[in-house]
Amino acid sequence: MNAKAQRGSALLETILLLPVLIGITLLAADMYILHQARSYLQQSAHNVASVIGAQGKLDANGLRALIEQAASTQVLHNYEMIISKVESDRSMQWRPLHRGPAQGLCTAYSEGRRYTGVLPEELPEAPDDDNASNHSVIVVQVCRSSEDLALSEALIGGANLEALSISRLQHGTPSLDVALTRELDPQETP
C-alpha cells in the first residue's frame, strides 16, 4: 500500500471513530451528572428526616430554615419535597407537608390518612397508646425534574429522580406551632 492510501485509511478511521468517542464521552458525563444529582437528593432527604426525627418541637420558621439549608434550590433547582408522619399502623396523624418550588413531581404515597408507600420494615404494633408514638417515623420524599440534567435525552428520557428517607421519631410526636398545626390539620387549629 502506498503512503497516500495509508493516510487516507487513517483519516477515514479517525472520522468514523470520532462520533463513537463523542457519544461515549456524553454518556459518561450524563452518568456522572445523574449520580451527583441523586446523591444531593438522598443527602437532602436524609438530613431533613434525621433532624425532624430528633426534634421534640417543630415550628414553621425552623422547618423553613432547615429545608433552605438541606435542600437548597441552588443545588437541587426544581424539586418537590413531601414530609409525612407515619404511625405503626400506617395511619398518618398529619396530612403530608409539601415543600419546594415544584409540584406534582413526586408519586403520592398516601391515600387520605393512610400511608401506602414502602417501609424498610413493618412497624411493630404498639399494645397501648403510650407506646404508639415510639414507633412513628418521618418519611421524607424528595423529587427533582431531570430535564436540565442530561446532555443527551437518550439516557433518562425526561424521567424524574426520587429519593426517600425514613427516620424514627426519637421523642414521640413533636409539638407543632400554630402555623404548622393550621397547615397540617386545619380542623384542629387552637
Task: Report residue 106: phi and psi, to 5°.
Answer: -90, 145
pLDDT at residue 157, rounded to an integer? 64
pLDDT at residue 158, rounded to an integer? 67
pLDDT at residue 189, rounded to an integer? 45
Label residue 50 exposed, middle or buried (CB < 10 Å: 0-12, 13-18, 19+). Answer: middle
Place of cell 436524609: 46
Task: Report residue 154: phi and psi, to 5°.
Answer: -65, -30
Place of cell 438541606: 70
pLDDT at residue 159, rounded to an integer? 78
Q: What is the DSSP letter of 100?
A: S
pLDDT digits (tens, 9 = 90+) for 104-138: 999 989 988 899 988 877 655 655 555 444 578 99
Residue ranges for the chain with pLDDT beneath 70: 1, 122-134, 150-158, 186-190
pTM score: 0.80
If we measure between CA atoms, which residue out of 156, 134, 138, 136 comes closest to residue 147? Answer: 156
If we measure between CA atoms, which residue out of 48, 38, 116, 50 comes closest to residue 82? Answer: 48
pLDDT at residue 145, rounded to an integer? 83
